[in-house]
Amino acid sequence: MEIGEKILVKKDNLEKIQVKLKGLKVSIEDMEVKGAINEILEILYNELEVKETSVKQTSVKELISEKMNATKFLDPDLNFKLYMLYRKLDENKITDEEALNVYNLYTVNSNEYIY
């Protein structure tokens, strides 16, 4: 999809549309209309799933970035490790779950030595 083909819609609004369509699906007896509603619901479900994935990835990146900035002068070694982790995540070499696990490992180990 090109940038010009996208629009911004709040997740709450998509969920409200999804709920209303499910209500219509139950109240309508026409099978053709139910089929069309099912197709629309599937599109909405896929769109909501994509949004949740991108939000999740952004938040892990932001978490790593914030910790990187916080440790820039206090712990250069940790800062470098977090930078490399951020790059791997940004280049999709690791998943956000893996990145979060490594992030937790780094930050737990670094906190043990800070008094």
Q: Is the pLDDT of residue 11 over 70?
A: yes
d(C-alpha 99, C-alpha 31), whole Å = 46
Q: Is the pLDDT of residue 93 over 70?
A: yes
Predicted confidence (pLDDT) per residue in 41-88, tens digit: 888 888 777 666 665 556 889 999 999 998 888 889 999 999 999 999
Q: Are 65 and 86 in contact (CB under 8 A)?
A: yes
* Torsion sign over Cα 44, 45, 51, 54: negative
d(C-alpha 29, C-alpha 33), whole Å = 8
Taking the model in full, what pTM does it have? 0.49
d(C-alpha 55, C-alpha 70), whole Å = 22
**What integer is the mean pLDDT of 14-40?**
89
Among 5-14, 20-29, 64-73, 96-105, where is mean pLDDT lowest? 5-14
